[in-house]
């Protein structure tokens, strides 16, 4: 081997050694920190929220996490700010058990999975409005800007008894509400980075008498961190709330997103493509207390999506495929809830009417001028007897596919073993809509989980979860025959999460997920479902200096098909730094800097969809 080759080999070895040392160092800190920590674990970081924080996603009524049977992760606006994230996709990538199939330019399309359940099996909601398409089911998490987000509640596991088509889980986004303390306030941010990647946004908020408002908007642009992967995303959202003279309130929400993308360039397949997605929705909600601990909530919503795709030859740029998809949905829902966070009952009904137009067929099925009418009725609750909480739920759905009604149910329980130690478990039956609508039956799941979560060990918070999912009628592309086969799949595994207390300003978060996914019929391990996921985050805070930093590491063994020339088995390391110029002043501007993929790691399931190499960005944010 020549000298240049030896030098390249040496550099590669050094990079791998540095990554190994970095992972070993953070893991060592995880083991050592409990011996010296002084603070309580729940004060350290919200990304793996512990304690008594209340969550609404599992049952549509607030319950403390210690009284929830499902495995739930809560992400706050402060967590998102620390990561300098642009879109929901970047946030999800840092959550244990979640894997992004495509990690490319911010704002680009990306599929994801939770415990191996693909994104079309996960229901994404913004203020209760579903973001999943009707015709291809999958949500577009790459074009959801994060500056409007107040918190994200993530359910890892079937949640159909509350939400309907949520076979693999729920990502419930709650946006920011009007500032109740001031008449006029706001925030702004601007950043620039490699390949002319820019993000400019602003917010306005306040309350005048009984009327409150929140407005958010901006633009995310990039020439593309990988070839052909440009992004231009305009977004706007608003939330307006009127407190009624007697009691209750009315909330109006609006959102608009327009995303133009170049998705990929693949000379090996003689392909290049681009797309444009316009998505707009609105909702109005009446919340009214009927009596003591008895509340009524009624919501009407409407949304429209238009998707246009251009597939071209790489060699001569000739147009080969140009589908246009348009969807209009309007719906109404109502629920009545009774009780408090420990003993409660919720019942509700939902109805949706969908109109679908498609100029060219997807999946070999014609959806031109189709309509759907679907409804659901649900009830769930909790009963607390001392340290034990029992959590039943049931829901009946007619998904509007002509397949008849479907019954989803769940039964869970939690037990407070010690002050800050909870045992939890649940079993559930659920479903998801098929991607090839009107061609296949519902995709179905039976799931079971058991877990333990504790903050009673000095200096550290720990959570462990065992999960088992049996899914059937799962649409699987057969590339040999060009058809879609319906498979039964088993996915089971374990997840471990840990969070240390702060030591000298440093704290560590760690998550490991093992997933064994197999075809039930032949017991073969399923491709393109990650078998091992590791998430690491080393955090530093120095409030007097106004400085914070977060180093994140993301490892995945994807088990991809070798024919796609994949790359995995290495960490992707990102560094995020934030510094307030005047730490003692509330109106101080904050400078931020991020270096992504520090060691030029590779993590992709197909060489056509390579992740970017090292890139950097920096900017400023301020509030007033």
Number of domains in the chain: 1
Angstrom distance (rounded) from CA 124 to CA 115 = 16
Residues of the chain with pLDDT under 50: 1-15, 17, 20-21, 24-51, 363
Degrees to nearest 5, angle at CA 21 with 19 and 24: 110
Angstrom distance (rounded) from CA 529 to CA 119 = 12
Q: Which residues contact 523 (CB under 8 A, 6 or more apart)?
A: none
- φ, ψ (nearest 5 deg) of residue 101: -65, -40
- φ, ψ (nearest 5 deg) of residue 248: 85, 180
For 190, the token pair is 């601007």
For 75, 78, 80, 190, 591, the CA distances from 581, given in Å and listed in that order, are 26, 18, 20, 16, 7
For 175, the token pair is 């946006």
CATH of the domain at 593: 2.40.170.20
SS3 89: helix
- Which residues pair with residue 237 across a beta bridge? 216, 255
For 313, the token pair is 């030859």
In contact, 593 and 561? CB cutoff 8 Å: no
For 97, 117, 213, the CA distances from 492, given in Å and listed in that order, are 12, 11, 45
In contact, 212 and 204? CB cutoff 8 Å: no
In sequence order, what E strands does 399-519 have? 406-418, 421-432, 443-454, 460-478, 483-500, 506-519
Write out pLDDT tens, residues 572-594: 999 999 999 998 887 889 999 99
For 178, 580, 583, 592, the CA distances from 589, given in Å and listed in that order, are 22, 6, 9, 10
**Looking at residue 586, what is its pLDDT?**
79
Phi-psi domain of 225 (left: phi exceeds 0; alpha: psi -120 through 50; beta: other): alpha
For 258, 300, 576, the CA distances from 597, given in Å and listed in that order, are 28, 43, 11
| Dihedral, CA of residue 38, residue 40, residue 46 and residue 49, to nearest 10 | 140
**Looking at residue 438, what is its pLDDT?**
61
Write out pLDDT tens, residues 517-535: 999 999 999 999 999 999 9
Domain boundaries, position 32:
3-623
- φ, ψ (nearest 5 deg) of residue 90: -65, -30
For 196, the token pair is 């002319």
**Residue 623 CA to chain centroid, in angstroms?**
26
Phi-psi domain of 46 (left: phi exceeds 0; alpha: psi -120 through 50; beta: other): alpha
Q: What is the pTM of this model?
A: 0.91
- Give the 3-state secondary structure of 23-38: HHHHHHHHHHHHHCCC
For 216, the enclosing helix (H) or strand (E) is: strand 211-222
For 488, the token pair is 């039964």
Helices (H), 98-214: 160-163
Angstrom distance (rounded) from CA 281 to CA 328 = 10
For 475, the token pair is 């649409």
């Amino acid at each position: 081997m020549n000298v240049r080759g030896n030098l390249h080999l040496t550099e590669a070895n050094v990079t791998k050694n540095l990554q190994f040392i970095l992972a070993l160092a953070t893991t060592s800190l995880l083991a050592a920190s409990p011996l010296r920590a002084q603070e309580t674990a729940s004060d350290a970081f919200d990304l793996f929220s512990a304690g008594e924080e209340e969550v609404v996603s599992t049952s549509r009524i607030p319950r403390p996490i210690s009284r929830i049977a499902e495995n739930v992760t809560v992400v706050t606006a402060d967590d998102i700010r620390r990561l300098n994230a642009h879109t929901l996709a970047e946030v999800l990538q840092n959550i244990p058990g979640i894997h992004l199939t495509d990690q490319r330019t911010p704002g680009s399309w990306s599929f994801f999975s939770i415990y191996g359940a693909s994104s079309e099996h996960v229901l994404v909601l913004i203020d209760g409005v579903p973001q999943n398409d009707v015709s291809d089911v999958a949500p577009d998490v790459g074009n959801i800007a994060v500056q409007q987000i107040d918190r994200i509640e993530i359910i890892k596991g079937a949640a159909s008894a509350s939400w309907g088509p949520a076979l693999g889980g729920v990502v419930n986004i709650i946006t920011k509400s009007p500032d109740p303390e001031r008449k006029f306030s706001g925030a702004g941010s601007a950043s620039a980075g490699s390949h002319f990647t820019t993000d400019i946004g602003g917010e306005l908020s306040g309350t005048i008498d009984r009327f409150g408002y929140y407005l958010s908007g901006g633009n995310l642009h990039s020439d593309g961190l990988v070839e052909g992967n440009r992004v231009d995303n305009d977004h706007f959202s608003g939330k307006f709330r009127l407190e009624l003279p007697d009691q209750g309130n009315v909330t109006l929400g609006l959102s608009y997103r327009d995303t133009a993308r170049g998705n990929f360039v693949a000379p090996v397949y003689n392909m290049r493509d681009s797309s444009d997605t316009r998505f707009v929705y609105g909702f109005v909600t009446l919340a009214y207390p009927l009596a003591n601990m008895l509340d009524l909530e009624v919501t009407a919503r409407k949304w429209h999506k238009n998707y246009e795709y251009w597939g071209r030859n790489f060699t001569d740029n000739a147009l080969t495929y140009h589908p246009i998809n348009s969807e209009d949905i309007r719906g109404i829902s109502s629920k009545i809830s009774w009780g408090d966070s420990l003993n409660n009952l919720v019942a509700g009904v939902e109805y949706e009417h969908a109109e679908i137009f498609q100029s060219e067929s997807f999946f070999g099925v014609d959806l031109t001028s189709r309509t759907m009418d679907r409804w659901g009725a649900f009830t769930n609750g909790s009963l607390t007897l001392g340290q034990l909480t029992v959590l039943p739920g049931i829901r009946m759905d007619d998904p509007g596919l002509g397949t008849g009604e479907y019954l989803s149910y769940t039964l869970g329980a939690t037990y407070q073993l010690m002050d800050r130690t909870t045992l939890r478990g649940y079993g559930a039956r659920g479903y998801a809509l098929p991607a090839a609508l009107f061609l296949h039956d519902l995709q179905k799941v039976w799931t079971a989980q058991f877990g333990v979560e504790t903050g009673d060990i000095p200096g550290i918070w720990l959570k462990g979860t065992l999960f088992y999912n049996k899914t059937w009628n799962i649409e699987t592309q057969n590339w040999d025959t060009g058809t879609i086969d319906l498979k039964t799949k088993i996915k089971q595994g374990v997840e471990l999460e840990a969070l240390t207390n702060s030591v000298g300003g440093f704290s560590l978060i760690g998550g490991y997920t093992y997933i064994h996914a197999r075809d039930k019929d032949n017991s073969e391990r399923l491709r393109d479902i990650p078998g091992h996921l590791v998430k690491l985050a080393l955090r530093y805070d120095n409030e007097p200096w106004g400085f914070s930093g977060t180093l994140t590491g993301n490892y995945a063994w994807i088990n991809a098909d070798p024919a796609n020339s994949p790359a995995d088995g290495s960490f992707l390391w990102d560094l995020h730094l934030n510094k307030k110029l005047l730490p003692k002043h509330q109106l101080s501007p904050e400078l931020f800097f991020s270096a992504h993929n520090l060691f030029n790691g590779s993590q992709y399931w197909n060489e056509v969809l390579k992740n970017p190499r090292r890139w950097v960005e920096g900017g400023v944010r301020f509030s007033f």
